[in-house]
């Protein structure tokens, strides 16, 4: 197999995954964007978390909200729980790595807030612990996952929104998670600012 063929295979697999995701996730994506906007409109905030590439996605989402996406607007209250190394390492050291996000949710989460929980497998113990604590605090969850949904899907309630990418490939799931995040950002801007200049 040539290098050019391998590249084409990656592109085609990514396109196929996104096409499947469009079919399955269009309606829950609208619900997720509406939940995010209603959270901001109520004066609440979004907390986001994930590990590795999913940590990068959590930070990407919060930066798009706090700063801007593609249109000028006010900053929106979003906090990535993945960025403060002193907090992360002290919690991991004093308690356990499983509690690095849930401990922050305990301190920062309020009823009406939303947790954006990202795990490609749905089996990240620290993300799932954050979901449990968020629900205990009266928060709802928007869960980005893939594969079978893992143990995460069993934690979700009817008040939560699941965006599970139909793929078993971590790379394809991560690529699609970024698209889902961009869709949410765009829909929030559209709902806030209207369709002018779309």
> Annotated binding site for Zn(2+), which residues?
60, 64, 174, 182
What is the per-residue DSSP string for 106-148?
Answer: HHH--TT-EEEEE-SSS--HHHHHHHHHHHHTT-EEEEEEETT
What residues have CB less than 8 Å from 107, skipping those under 6 apart?
none
Element (H, E) at 132: helix 125-136
Asked if 49 and 81 touch (Cβ cutoff 8 Å), the reply is yes
Annotated binding site for substrate: 51-53, 64, 93-94, 119-121, 124, 174
Annotated binding site: 51-53, 60, 64, 93-94, 119-121, 124, 174, 182
């Amino acid at each position: 197999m040539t290098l050019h063929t391998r590249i084409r295979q990656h592109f085609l697999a990514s396109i196929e995954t996104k096409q499947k995701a469009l079919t399955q996730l269009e309606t829950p994506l609208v619900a997720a964007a509406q939940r995010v906007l209603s959270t901001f409109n109520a004066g609440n905030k979004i907390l986001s978390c994930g590990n590795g590439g999913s940590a990068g996605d959590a930070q990407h989402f919060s930066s798009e909200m706090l700063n801007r996406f593609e249109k000028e607007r006010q900053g929106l209250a979003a906090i990535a729980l993945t960025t403060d190394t002193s907090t992360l390492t002290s919690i991991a050291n004093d308690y356990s790595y499983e509690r690095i996000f849930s401990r922050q949710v305990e301190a920062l989460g309020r009823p009406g807030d939303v947790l954006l929980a990202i795990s490609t497998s749905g089996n990240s113990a620290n993300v799932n612990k954050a979901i449990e604590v968020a629900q205990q605090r009266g928060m709802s969850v928007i869960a980005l996952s893939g594969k079978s949904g893992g143990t995460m899907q069993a934690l979700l309630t009817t008040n939560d929104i699941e965006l599970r990418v139909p793929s078993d490939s971590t790379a394809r799931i991560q690529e699609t998670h970024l698209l889902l995040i961009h869709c949410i950002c765009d829909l929030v801007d559209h709902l806030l600012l209207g369709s002018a200049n779309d």
